[in-house]
Chain A
């Protein structure tokens, strides 16, 4: 029953506000966390045996009659489902204490669950239009979540985000319409085999360009990144964590990768474009992050930079490069989620996000400081944390594939990353304690629990990286490295 990944969060989201009338806090907290815990356990435990015999294409039946809901689960989608439910769970735990001051908790959880359902639907979809539709489901929920605080900044950021995101969807849908006109079909497998038959290089190029603009806007790659440094910092901290950790990856990177690698097929030109965009994002965003005073804004620029790494890795197109890109996607989801959550703890304790006003907070908030340090070092790529291994794999893959210049850029960007994260550590957590914060206390239980969970995972995956790669990343990378054949061959065609 793969469809549970979509339907369960939706159903819970539908009934939450009704139950929220009965009990304002406990029931929504419990129900939302239980839902995400269930999805996580389901993905982690039941998923791998399910796809042991190859990808499954599930056709649903309703009251004994076959209904045409086709969902496909292969290594790549299972991997993404795991990432979504894991970060979703941590965020949901964090929200128990953090969202207390915003009010309307049931409504908040409902929107969060709808966003998760939208992402899961996108991951399981087997046709182009469903990709657009679920992208929009997650996006509509995210507009409201960015504006959830209803302050001036939140509203401004949400409006800008909405405008650019709608334009992105328009580009994506225009491209889908052209492909539909050309092949007369929307199904991934049917489109892939039809395109192979047609041999329509030029038009596929135009469609790819449209997709690139659309998904590039969603993933906030550098020329299309304007909305992200506004939207992600303005959202409540757990939502920043979901947006940066998951949404840009699912609706940008996942959708783009699935379509480019499994449906269109990765041409050398496209590979070059992806790698250049990735390298550009990596470097430019790292420089922009250096100059930031606002903690969350710095993290937001860092997200753009790290998405650059992911796109660079996947863009290489070799099995090792894809594996590295996907591994970095997972590690960045964990670590950036962790960093945004700790920034939320700091903001709640001190009421500010300005790095210059902080200082010495490690003495007052030891757990938050320690977990933040783990996340920062992981993203910066310090061994033995998980981020180190994924960056190493990407760089090795770049050298193997004969792109030493890109490899050099990746190393340099990594140094820059370490630099601005150390800057953040020094300004916020170390140094002399600013006497303003003498009365600051450690964050409440559930907030620290969520950050500790993610920090332990960062360390654990770093130590056990080889087994993580073989059990989770490799099956996902295999699907993508198989290219167009994966979809045509195994999805019932």
Chain B
């Protein structure tokens, strides 16, 4: 429990860093570290496949895409973030954490839940036999992503 909590705190810390840091490259890397931590958390929750996906795809592929974009667009130095926000952001965030800690527990106590009958079988069984329609959706969403990127990077030959 303690290790898990520490990992979760690290996850939130790096995620906040990713938003707060001025330098884009640094914030992309903080985001990758956050993904890495999330992947480890997933492993420790007996969800190795989700962990592998989180680490290889989100921490790996998506970070590469981010860095590629940053390289292609320059560092974005010309964007001046407002100074006021830099002060307000941590304050509001800390306030929210306090409210979160106070309210969430009481809220959860109110949630009635059915006693869940634990699942049996392996991950493969659940994915293939239980949620096959999701695979169709996954294929569709990948196709959508591929064609979107193709459409956005096509040569503009005749457009006005």
Contact = CB atoms under 8 A, between A and B. Distances in A.
A103 B134 CA distance: 33
A286 B53 CA distance: 47
A68 B144 contact: no
Contact of B112 (A14, A125, A129, A203): A203
B88 interface: no
Interface in A67-109: 67-71, 101-104, 107-108
Interface string B141-160: 10111011111101111111
Interface residues of B, number: 37
A130 B136 CA distance: 10
B133 A7 contact: no
Given A103-B156, A108-B151, A203-B112, A68 B140 contact: no
A200 B113 CA distance: 9
Contacts, number: 129
A198 B114 contact: yes
Contacts of A150: 152, 156, 159
Interface in A1-54: 6-7, 10, 13-14, 17
Interface in A95-145: 101-104, 107-108, 110-111, 114-115, 117-118, 121, 125, 127, 129-130, 133-134, 136-137, 140-141, 143-145
A198 B132 CA distance: 28
Given A68-B130, A107-B150, A101 B137 contact: no
Nearest to A181: B113
A101 B156 CA distance: 10
Contact of B152 (A114, A133, A144, A151): A144
A202 interface: yes
A197 interface: yes
Contacts of B129: 67-68
A68 B130 CA distance: 6
Contacts of A352: none
Interface string B96-118: 00000000000100111110110
Contact residues on A (Cβ < 8 Å of other chain), bracket: 35 or more
Nearest to A140: B144
Interface in A148-201: 148-151, 178, 181-184, 194, 197-200
Contacts of A206: 107
Interface string A436-459: 000000000000000000000000
B152 A147 contact: yes
B139 interface: yes
Nearest to B119: A184
A111 B130 CA distance: 28
Nearest to B135: A69
B160 A101 contact: yes
A188 B110 CA distance: 23
B131 interface: yes
Contacts of A6: 136, 140
A103 B158 CA distance: 7
Contact of A118 (B107, B130, B144, B151): B144
Contact of B143 (A14, A143, A183, A197): A14
Nearest to A151: B159
Given A103-B156, A140-B145, A149-B159, A69 B136 contact: yes
Contacts of A130: 133-134, 137
Contacts of B151: 104, 107-108, 111, 144-145, 147-148
B19 to A, nearest CB: 15
Given A182-B113, A198-B112, A143 B148 contact: yes
A482 to B, nearest CB: 24
A114 B147 contact: yes
23 contacts: A10-B143, A13-B147, A68-B132, A71-B133, A101-B159, A103-B155, A111-B147, A114-B140, A129-B131, A134-B140, A140-B145, A143-B148, A145-B151, A147-B152, A150-B152, A151-B159, A178-B111, A181-B111, A194-B114, A197-B114, A198-B112, A203-B110, A203-B111
Interface of B: 107, 110-114, 116-117, 128-134, 136-141, 143-145, 147-152, 154-160
List the 4 shortest-distance A-B pairs measured between CB atoms, nearest first: A144-B148, A133-B137, A184-B116, A140-B144
Given A101-B159, A143-B148, 12 more contacts: A7-B136, A69-B133, A70-B133, A103-B155, A104-B154, A111-B144, A114-B144, A134-B140, A136-B141, A137-B140, A141-B144, A197-B114
